Amino acid sequence: MAESKKIILTGDRPTGKLHVGHYVGSLRQRVELQNSGEYDEIYIMIADAQALTDNADNPEKVRQNIIEVALDYLSCGLDPAKSTLFIQSQVPELTEMSFYYMNLVTVSRLQRNPTVKNEIKLRNFEASIPVGFFTYPISQAADITAFQATTVPVGDDQLPMIEQTREIVRSFNHIYDEVLTEPEALIPQNESCRRLPGIDGNAKMSKSLANCIYLSDTPEDVRKKIMSMFTDPNHIRVSDPGRVEGNPVFTYLDAFCRREHFEKFWPEYQNLDELKAHYMRGGLGDVKVKKFLNEVMQAELEPIRERRRIYEKDIPEVYRILQEGSIRAEKKAAVTLARMKAAMKINYFDDQELIAAQALKYGEE
């Protein structure tokens, strides 16, 4: 039977350091959920096997980034005493589940997945998509269902993956037995958090565009990046009225700034609405707004840097955390897989009834 516990599973591909887009898009929420005490089990996965689906020729990159992502997780406040942090490839049950789920999904269904479509375009894969990459939504369904996750906190680009997972769950439960749990996605309410642009105003932060602010950036790096941010190109003189929509400085403020930041750093304004109104009226320069954004972001990032400094001093301990987490994760996945195999009737040696019935059949002849 599906469980009635509240369980979280989510993860990231280790293809680079995590940036502030990951933070407001998902990481910050994961930490809040973890600390809410409302969840019975929390699994946070470093998806190295998925990262290899489009980096098969570069395993070293994936390997190097595992520790980066782990440090980013820990420094954001994911706590190994409350959340199981683990590495996908170390839970082989996930691969086995994927193999059976492949029978429940059609090629045309995968071809319709908007995220995969988009990623194929981004990678110029059109004519040469690795089969593993094409089928990663299926492996992602295994990641989620192995833990009987009820809740998957992710960025909104991952919604098609959760939908695919739900279809697989319904199909499995319908054909075999009610073993799997249908998960729900949880995305941030605030739209600016879901779509944090790059510092150049590009819709997406990406390493190749060199427009990211990383969680591991130094205070000076962060300050420089903020001061160089793209703003409203028509806001030339201070007295000109400015636009806040599509202005990354204000999108970042939407995502990061809280009322208390005004009290602390800019008491001339009560809140963001007042600041925006002034900017739109004209008479407020970009440099002032950027300086404020810098104060706000430094305040948010400093505790993250502080925790990172502690974990960086004991890297073997970080690997131990991942190893222990992987062992715990595998135990859980093994329970689900055993139930799946029983439902699929591929548990031959556990099934005394089957053995007795076959013996009887041949005994009768």
Positions touching ligand TRP (CB under 6 A) are 9-13, 47, 50, 140, 143-144, 152, 154, 158
Q: Kindly tell me which of 10 and 251 has the beta carbon lying closer to ligand TRP.
A: 10
Strands (E), the chain: 7-12, 41-46, 84-87, 151-153, 184-186
Residue with the shortest CB distance to ligand TRP: 47
User: Residue 72: is it exposed, middle or buried by C-beta count within 10 angstroms (0-12/13-18/19+)?
Assistant: buried
Which of residues 17 and 278 has its CB atom nearest to ligand TRP in the complex?
A: 17
What's the token pair of residue 240? 């000109």
Q: How far is the CB of 210 from ligand TRP (least distance, A)?
A: 20
Least distance between ligand TRP and beta carbon 152 (Å): 5
Min CB(90)–ligand TRP separation in Å: 14
Q: Which residue has the tokens 């002034």?
A: 278
Q: How many CA atoms lie within 13 A of 24 on its CB side?
A: 24
As a whole number of angstroms, the distance between CA 106 and CA 125 comes to 20
Give min distance, CB of 144 to ligand TRP, in A.
5
Find the shortest distance in angstroms from Cβ 143 to ligand TRP.
Answer: 4
CA distances from 336 to 44, 185, 227, 332, 348 (A): 17, 20, 50, 7, 17
11 vs 242, beta carbon nearer ligand TRP: 11
If the CB atoms of residues 72 and 232 are measured against ligand TRP, the closer one turns out to be: 72
Give the residue from 328, 318, 310 showing the smallest Cα distance to 84. Answer: 328
Q: Are 192 and 251 in contact (CB under 8 A)?
A: yes
In the complex, minimum distance from the CB of residue 164 to ligand TRP, in angstroms, rounded to a whole number: 11
Laid out side by side, the sheet with 151-153 consists of 84-87, 41-46, 7-12, 151-153, 184-186
Nearer to ligand TRP, 89 or 158 (CB): 158
Q: Which is nearer to ligand TRP, 182 or 351 (CB)?
A: 182
